[in-house]
Amino acid sequence: MRINGGIFDPLRPDRAAPGSDSAVSRPGDQDSASTTTNPKKSDSVQISSAGRSLSDRVEREQQVDLAPERVAELRNKVLMGAYNTLDVVDQVARRILTRGDL
């Protein structure tokens, strides 16, 4: 994500809000700035394609709905130890690594 612009930058007193105490006047700065028409500055944000891709993936994952019956069935299987095998542990570990969740 890239953020461009911003007329109120606390680290740069020369870009402080007009009329605020933190505005710095320098030699050579005169009222000529107020007589010229300055274009209005605006902020912008650019989101990379990787950021959009990640956002889409998160939205798809959040849309997965499990019926209460399916949740109860999976819960019973976990409690009965159906997933306590090396094959299941291996598959889960591989999926975590390939999805980049770590």
Record the tokens describing residue 88, joined without a space: 């299941």
List, as own/partner pairs, every contact residues 68-72 make where C-beta atoms lie below 8 angstroms and the sequence separation is at least 24, other chains included: none
Residue type, 44: S
The whole-number mean pLDDT for each consecutive block of 10 residues of the chain, a chain of 102 residues, reads: 59 57 52 62 90 89 80 91 90 88 68
- In this prediction, residue 49 carries a pLDDT of 92
